[in-house]
Amino acid sequence: MNPSKEQELQIDIYLRKLRECLPNMSVTDREEIVREISVHIRECAQEPNNSSVDGILQRLGPAESLASEYGHDLLIRHASRSISPVLILRATLELAKRGMEGFVLLLGALIGYALGGGLVATAVLKPIFPRQIGLWIGPGAFNFGFHEPLYSDPVHEVLGWWYLRVALCLAACG
């Protein structure tokens, strides 16, 4: 059954609300989402066992909720193609709200960025504190980063100025 004029008006109002609730994205993305929902509503309305356009819109939920879901999914899609730490952290925070897997992903991202930041910080500090920063190895000791050597400490620094390159490469790879 094709939607009546009244049902077409109801669909148009819903789609207009949906469009208004998607302001923080490109026009192309917004129109693609609205077009996708419009096609979905009209296909469902054509099915013989469907009750009404009103029932279809109720199953979709409020336009605000649907727009919010699409916004979150778009954020995650953009973050998957990005190298921006802020965008990636925003997307993993959104995933963390959805379940345990997302929380683990957020935790991994936070730990990774913290380790990377720490490695960059030690690489920057190596020229200032050359005798305290490096890779320290000795009996029972393996310390990558800051170490306050004691006179009785049998550890020694093995990388020297290569520490800068190693720390920055590890930070970039993480």
Examine residue 99 and state whether it is found in any structural domain, yes or no. Answer: no
Shared-domain flag, residues 124 and 64? no
N-terminal to C-terminal alpha carbon distance within the chain: 56
pLDDT score recorded for residue 121: 92
User: Is the CB of residue 38 less than 8 Å from the CB of residue 15?
Assistant: yes
Predicted confidence at residue 2, as pLDDT, reads 59
**How much is the pLDDT for 95?**
83
Of 29, 48, 68, which marks where a domain is finished?
A: 68
Stretch 130-150: mean pLDDT, rounded?
A: 81
Residue 18 lies in a domain: yes
Among residues 44, 68, 92, the one where a domain terminates is 68
Top-confidence residue, 137 or 25:
137
Domain presence at residue 106: no
Tokens of 47: 């099915």
At 120 the pLDDT is 92
Which residue reads 């005798």 in tokens? 131
| Dist. CA 170–CA 116, nearest whole Å | 7
Residue 137, domain member (yes or no): yes
Query: Would you state the pLDDT for residue 76?
Result: 81
Q: Which of 43-47, 146-150, 167-171 has the highest mean pLDDT?
A: 167-171
Does the predicted model carry a pTM greater than 0.75? no
Confidence of residue 127 (pLDDT cuts 50, 70, 90): very high
Q: Is residue 147 part of a domain?
A: yes
Distance CA 107, CA 94 (A): 12
The number of domains in the chain is: 2
According to the model, what pLDDT value does residue 21 have?
84
pLDDT at 78: 79
Q: Is the pLDDT of residue 4 over 80?
A: no
Any domain includes 108: no
Using DSSP's 3-state secondary structure scheme, residue 1 falls into coil
- The range of the structural domain enclosing residue 57 comes to 1-68
Same domain, 64 and 5: yes
61 and 120, same domain (yes or no): no
In a domain, 145, yes or no: yes
pLDDT at 41: 86
pLDDT in tens, 31-71: 888 898 888 888 887 777 766 788 888 888 888 888 888 87
Residue 131 located in a structural domain: yes
